[in-house]
């Protein structure tokens, strides 16, 4: 029996790997795999901004009632976020938001989980570029002038406070569910929170620095004047820090593996994964479990049939989704 681990930074389309190959170091990644994940973040963030701006244009055209327009935009934004996180989660983690990327890196840095600094450096500009493209796309779909800066001023301490609260709540939700072992609920929970925050915050909950920058490029009800962007982003970063601190107080700080703390034990799958217990089985019926060391970015952990491979070899077979069971791990033959 040997163990071969499938981690988020592994390419699920890797060729056959022999059991003599050394395990991949956590965080190690090829340029192609990193580019693919950054592209997923760019496309996902762009679509998210297109949903926000496009729904605002459509709602303004169809109704003169401000409440109806806000209801339409909040529903469209929430549904779009849930779908996009579900779609891009197995590829890049489905962050679509620099606040989420930074909080995932900070929360997981001591235990080798979450994005690496190299991934953070790739994700942040990709998300920002995608957001700018999404704003242009929304204007193009409705035959509006392209690359027109917003004239919608959003300035005032009450709005900045609203942004800080909205972002802190989102970060608390993401980090708290991950630490509570409920990361599988993140797409639906994030969507529900976003819809609610559109109504209970004075700023209508941008809660996303990249989207805030992108929405400066569309002169619609969803836009924000360039002069209002910097204070909004500063409030969002402050909210990110508050959300992380609150999550640490409420859910505890995960200790790094090997320091005697409560963190997951080290095993043949690397940090954050627990080796499986030996089981008796029929050699003619091989099976596969996927490793889920990091619920925010992991492939799903589920035992599925595996086609017979040559002796001493294994084949990755992704069955994508979120996972919160780090003990369900690894390939067995």
**Stretch 306-327: mean pLDDT:** 41
- The distance of Cα 307 from the centroid of its chain, to the nearest Å, equals 31
Which residues does residue 4 pair with via DSSP β-bridges, in sequence order?
Answer: none
15 inside domain: no
308 inside domain: no
Q: Which residue from 83, 76, 93 is spatially nearest to 40, judged by alpha carbons?
A: 93
Are residues 60 and 138 in contact, defined by beta-carbon separation less than 8 angstroms?
no
108 inside domain: yes
Within the chain, residue ranges assigned H as helices are 31-62, 66-92, 98-108, 117-141, 157-179, 186-200, 209-214, 226-251
Q: SS3 for 288? A: strand
Residue 313 has pLDDT above 80, yes or no: no
118 inside domain: yes
Are residues 224 and 215 in contact, defined by beta-carbon separation less than 8 angstroms?
yes
**Stretch 226-241: mean pLDDT:** 96
264 inside domain: no
pLDDT for 254: 61
**Stretch 161-179: mean pLDDT:** 95
pLDDT for 29: 59
Most distant CA pair in the chain, distance: 68
Task: Kindly report the pTM of this predicted structure.
Answer: 0.69
Spatial CB neighbours of 157, under 8 Å, sequence gap ≥ 6 = none
* Domain count of the fold of the chain: 1
**Range of 173's domain?**
31-251
Lowest mean pLDDT among 22-31, 138-147, 171-180: 22-31
Residue 266 has pLDDT above 60, yes or no: no
Residue 100 main-chain phi, psi, to 5 deg:
-70, -40
313 inside domain: no
Q: Residue 165 sits in a domain of what CATH number?
A: 1.20.1080.10
Q: How large is the C-alpha radius of gyration of the chain?
A: 21
Q: Which residue from 91, 76, 100 is spatially nearest to 37, judged by alpha carbons?
A: 91
pLDDT category of residue 36 using cuts at 50, 70 and 90: very high
**Stretch 1-10: mean pLDDT:** 42
Query: 289 or 223: which carries more pLDDT confidence?
Result: 223
Residue 281, CA atoms < 13 Å, CB-side half-sphere: 12
pLDDT for 270: 39
Spatial CB neighbours of 86, under 8 Å, sequence gap ≥ 6 = 94, 187
Q: SS3 for 18? A: strand
**Stretch 80-86: mean pLDDT:** 95
**Stretch 153-160: mean pLDDT:** 94
Q: Is 312 left (phi over 0), alpha (psi -120 to 50) or beta?
A: left
Q: Which residue from 14, 201, 3, 207 is spatially nearest to 100, judged by alpha carbons?
A: 207
pLDDT for 252: 84
Residue 136 has pLDDT above 80, yes or no: yes
258 inside domain: no
Percent of the chain with pLDDT over 70: 67
Residue 10 has pLDDT above 70, yes or no: no
Q: Any idea what the Cα angle at residue 26 is, between residues 22 and 31, rounded to 5°?
A: 90
**Stretch 45-51: mean pLDDT:** 97
pLDDT category of residue 126 using cuts at 50, 70 and 90: very high
Residue 272 has pLDDT above 50, yes or no: no
Q: For all residues of the chain together, what is the average pLDDT?
A: 76
Residue 133 has pLDDT above 60, yes or no: yes
Query: 130 or 23: which carries more pLDDT confidence?
Result: 130
Residue 9 has pLDDT above 60, yes or no: no
**Stretch 59-73: mean pLDDT:** 94
The CA distance from 34 to 37, in Å, is 5
128 inside domain: yes
């Amino acid at each position: 029996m040997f163990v071969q681990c499938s981690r988020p930074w592994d390419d699920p389309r890797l060729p056959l790997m022999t059991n003599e190959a050394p395990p991949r170091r956590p965080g190690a990644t090829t340029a192609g795999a990193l580019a693919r994940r950054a592209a997923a973040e760019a496309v996902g963030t762009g679509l998210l901004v297109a949903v926000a701006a496009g729904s605002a244009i459509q709602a303004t055209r169809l109704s003169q009632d401000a409440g109806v327009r806000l209801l339409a935009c909040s529903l469209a934004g929430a549904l779009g976020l849930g779908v996009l996180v579900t779609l891009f989660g197995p590829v890049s983690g489905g962050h679509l938001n620099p606040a989420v990327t930074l909080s995932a890196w900070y929360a997981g840095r001591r235990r080798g989980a979450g994005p690496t600094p190299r991934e953070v450096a790739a994700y942040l500009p990709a998300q920002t570029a995608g957001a700018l493209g999404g704003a242009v796309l929304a204007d193009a779909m409705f035959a509006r002038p392209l690359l027109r800066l917003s004239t919608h001023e959003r300035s005032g301490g009450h709005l900045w406070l609203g942004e800080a609260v909205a972002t802190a709540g989102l970060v608390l939700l993401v980090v708290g569910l991950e630490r509570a072992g409920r990361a599988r609920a993140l797409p639906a929970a994030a969507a529900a929170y976003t819809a609610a925050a559109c109504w209970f915050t004075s700023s209508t909950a941008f809660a996303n620095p990249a989207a805030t920058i992108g929405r400066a490029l569309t002169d619609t009800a969803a836009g924000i004047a360039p002069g209002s962007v910097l204070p909004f982003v500063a409030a969002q970063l402050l909210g990110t820090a508050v959300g992380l601190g609150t999550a640490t107080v409420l859910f505890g700080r995960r200790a790094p593996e090997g320091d005697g703390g409560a963190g997951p034990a080290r095993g043949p799958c690397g940090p954050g994964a627990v080796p499986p217990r030996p089981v008796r089985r029929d050699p003619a019926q091989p099976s596969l479990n996927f490793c889920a060391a990091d619920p925010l970015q992991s492939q799903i952990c589920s035992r599925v049939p595996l086609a017979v491979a040559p002796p001493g070899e294994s084949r990755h077979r992704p069955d994508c989704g979120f996972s919160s069971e780090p003990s369900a791990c690894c390939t067995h033959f």
